[in-house]
Amino acid sequence: MRDLAAVKAALRQHEIELPSWAFGNTGTRFKVFGQPGVPRTAWEKADDAAQVHRFTGVAPSMAVHIPWDAVDDYGALARYVAGAGIRIGAVNANVFQDDDYKLGSVCHPDRRVRAKAVAHLVQCVDIMDATGSADLKLWFADGTNYPGQDDIAARQDRLAEALRAVYERLGPGQRMLLEYKLFEPAFYTTDVPDWGTSLLHCTARLGGFDFNSRFYADDDLMVGAADPFQLFRIMHEVVKAGALAPAAGVAFMLDQCHNIEPKIPGQIRSVMNVQEATAKALLIDTPALAAAQQAGDVLAANAALMDAYNTDVRPLLAELRQDMGLEPDPVAAYQRSGYAEKIVAERTGGAPAGWGA
């Protein structure tokens, strides 16, 4: 059994980044259900993100999405965010919501369209400079729907060319995080379909780790919503690889949206789900696990994992939060705070943030 003080120390320093877009009106391709009190601006999104950090203590950064979070003065936005007690995290580029990108962005067969996409990525690096962000988050909807639609190998070459150009624009201490997705929206080929393709293009190290539960075939549900055991197994691999420590430089991000559940409690619950899975992974008796694996004792090895997974870590996390000066139950504390009622009353008029906003 791991030393509980060491487990607490690891959990205390494990930061989880929040996505600004999860506070807006989002949903599936079929329907977006609006909610009262949804933020209308990047500034109000920052206010909401600060609430998640206020009650969890481990979510001190908010990723932004451009142009959804476009403002006239990004330095002013960064200062406002800092005043709220958090910071700007990854800057996410958007090269999938423009008519020019119907056949792709950086992999498009038309050089003009590729240049347009790269220019937007470079603009996002400018925003990183202005906000102090260290990470450029890239996801490309690029792919093909039909055999023969385009030259698959040539598309990889175009992708590499674009990434090289953007990488050269990055400053010291800045990096690119390249997301992959098996499918959607392209259904025959996706240009960055798996971690291997992403790794080959990055050839450096793991930079970011996205948390979501993709039962919409996208990133719309709370992490660990339907399969917390899977989340536990993933966090075991993260801990085993030494990637949990801040020195590893891995950005742990929520990449999700909330359709039918309230936005801020949904993100608080997601942070808590990650913390619970991480705590269980940290409690694995690693010497016993290694000994069982070396001996070929299949059942004992499985038991070492299951003993940790079946541990109720909620009292440990409640104690940790109290040690940090926080309420032991973040969701209940948020509900008592009155913030939900406040934003519903104050955020009248204007256009609520949402898809494309």
Residue 107 domain flag: yes
Residue 137 domain flag: yes
Q: Are strands 143-144 and 189-190 parallel, antiparallel or unpaired?
A: antiparallel
Residue 292 domain flag: no
Q: Is the pLDDT of residue 63 over 70?
A: yes
Confidence of residue 318 (pLDDT cuts 50, 70, 90): very high
3-class DSSP state of 14: coil
Residue 289 domain flag: no
Average pLDDT over residues 161-187: 93
Find the CATH number of the domain harbouring 169. 3.20.20.150
* Closest to 356 (Cα-Cα) out of 32, 18, 16: 32
Q: Which residue has the higher pLDDT, 311 or 1?
A: 311
Query: What is the number of alpha carbons within 13 Å of residue 134 lying toward its C-beta?
Result: 10
Q: Residue 1: its pLDDT value, please? A: 53
DSSP, res 107: T
Q: Cis bond leading into 109, ω under 30°?
A: no
Percent of the chain with pLDDT over 70: 96
302: which 2 tokens? 């499985």
Q: Residue 204: its pLDDT value, please? A: 59
pLDDT in tens, 15-25: 999 999 999 99
Average pLDDT over residues 171-197: 91
Residue 159 domain flag: yes
pLDDT in tens, 195-253: 899 988 988 565 677 777 666 566 667 888 888 998 999 899 899 989 998 899 888 98
Q: Residue 2: its pLDDT value, please? A: 74
DSSP, res 15: -
Q: Residue 356: its pLDDT value, please? A: 57
Q: Cis bond leading into 67, ω under 30°?
A: yes
Confidence of residue 169 (pLDDT cuts 50, 70, 90): very high
Q: Residue 206: its pLDDT value, please? A: 58
Q: What is the mean pLDDT of the chain?
A: 92
How far apart are alpha carbons 286 and 290 in whole angstroms?
6
pLDDT in tens, 91-118: 999 999 999 999 999 999 999 999 999 9
Q: Residue 215: its pLDDT value, please? A: 62
Can you give the residue range of the structural domain that contains 224? 15-277+327-346
Minimum mean pLDDT among 51-60, 80-89, 252-261, 266-275: which range?
A: 252-261
Domain count, the chain: 1
Confidence of residue 286 (pLDDT cuts 50, 70, 90): very high
Residue 84 domain flag: yes
Q: Residue 214: its pLDDT value, please? A: 62
Average pLDDT over residues 142-171: 94
Q: Which residue has the higher pLDDT, 120 or 249?
A: 120
Residue 316 domain flag: no
* Closest to 113 (Cα-Cα) out of 150, 153, 145: 150
Average pLDDT over residues 141-153: 91
